[in-house]
Amino acid sequence: MSGKVLDIHLDHIDKTFQAGECVSGTILIDGRKRSSHNGITLTLKGTVLMKHSSRNTGAFEAFYNSVRPIDLIFHTLELAPAGKLPSTILELPFSIPLLPTAEEFPLYETYHGVFVSIQYNIRVDVKGRSFMSGDLSETIEFLLENPPRNISFKPTPVDILISSSAIDSVKKGANVIPKFKITGKINSTLCPITRPFSGELVVEEMGSKIRTIDLQLIRVETCGCADGFSRDATEIQNIQISEGDVLRNFPIPIYMIFPRLFTCPTVSSKNFKIEFEVLINVQLENNHVIAERFPIKLIRLDEKESF
C-alpha cells in the first residue's frame, strides 16, 4: 500500500465506472502506524464546476467568476464509529450505486475542461483522536462513463470543399490569396467517442507551397443561466496530418483519436453546454492560413475502443 497510512483502491484498473452500476473498491488503513480513530467516513461526490472567462464578462462579474457548482451525486457513509484499529492493515471494502441525486440532472460523464469540469471523487476521512494523531484524508478521482447506447449507428459523412472561389472578391483582388481547391470527406460528424475521427483530404490545387495541415480539436464551453452566459472555444489538441508541401491529388488520411478526460459526449443542459469542433487548418509557406470549421457531435456508442 505504497507506504501510506490511508489509501483507496478502486476495483477497476482503469478507474472507470458506469452510471447505474456501483463504484467499488477498498479502503486500506495501516493499523501499525495508527492505533485509534474518531470515526471513518466516506464521501462520494460528483460535481459540475463552472467558471466564467474574464473575456466574456465584465470586471464585476469576473470577481464572482466561479458559478455555483452543480452537485450531480452526493453520498456520505459512516464506515466505522470511533474506536481502535487492529495492528495490521485494515481493509474496508465499499460499493456505492452510481445514481443521480438531483432529479433535474443526470450523471454526466467525467470531463476536464477549462470553463466547465465534471468530476467524481471519493474521499475518505479518518478523524484523529488527539493533537498528535491528527485527521487523515485521502481523495481519489474515478471516471464515470454512461452505459453504451444500444442504437444502430448511422454515420453522417460531410464533404470537404475549401476553395478560393468561395472567398469574396475584395481579397482576391488584392492578389494575396493564391488560387486553391481542397476537397475530401469527413467520414462522420457524429462521432462515437471511442472511435477515431477519420476521413481524407485532397489538395487538388494550391497556388502556394503548403507548410503544414493540422486538425485542431476544439471544445466550446458555455456556462451560465438567465443572468448571462459565457461561451468560449479553446483548443484541446492539434494534430498534424501533413508536413510540408504535399503532393497534389494525393489523398491524405484524416485521423485523430479523441483524448480521454478532455473529451466527453456532447452535453447540452440548461446551465451549461460542452460542444466540440474540428478545425482543418492549412498553413502556407507565406504564413497565410486557410481554415474550415466542422462542428461534431460526440456520443458514447459502444465499447469498441480506438485501441
Q: Is 170 strand, coil or helix? A: helix
Q: Hey, CA dihedral for 52, 53, 56, 58, is it positive or negative?
A: positive
With CB under 8 A as the contact rule, which of the stretches 54-62, 140-148, 226-234, 251-259 interacts with other proteins? 251-259
For residue 50, give Cα distances in angstroms to 65, 154, 190, 251, 260: 9, 33, 26, 41, 20
172 vs 260, which CB is nearer to other proteins? Answer: 260
Q: Does 241 bind other proteins (CB under 8 A)?
A: yes
In the set 30, 138, 245, 292, which binds other proteins (CB under 8 A)? 245
Q: Does 285 bind other proteins (CB under 8 A)?
A: no
Q: Does 49 bind other proteins (CB under 8 A)?
A: no
Per-residue exposure over 254-289, b if at least 16 CB sit within 10 Å of its own CB, e if not = bebbbebeebbbbbeeebbbbbbbbbbbbbbeeeee
> Binding to other proteins (CB under 8 A): which residues in 173-192?
none
Q: Does 239 bind other proteins (CB under 8 A)?
A: yes
Query: How many residues bind to other proteins according to rule CB under 8 A?
Result: 27
With CB under 8 A as the contact rule, which of the stretches 25-33, 49-57, 165-173, 252-260 interacts with other proteins? 252-260
Least Å from the CB of residue 263 to other proteins: 11
CB atoms within 10 A of CB 238: 14
Q: With DSSP H G I counted as helix, E B as strand and the rest as coil, what are the percentages for the chain, rounded to 5?
A: 5, 55, 40
Least Å from the CB of residue 233 to other proteins: 19
Q: Does 22 bind other proteins (CB under 8 A)?
A: no
Q: Which residue has the cell 474574464?
A: 54
Least Å from the CB of residue 45 to other proteins: 25
Cα distance between residue 259 and residue 143, in whole Å: 14
Binding residues for other proteins (CB under 8 A): 13-14, 210, 213, 237-247, 250-253, 255-257, 259-260, 305-307
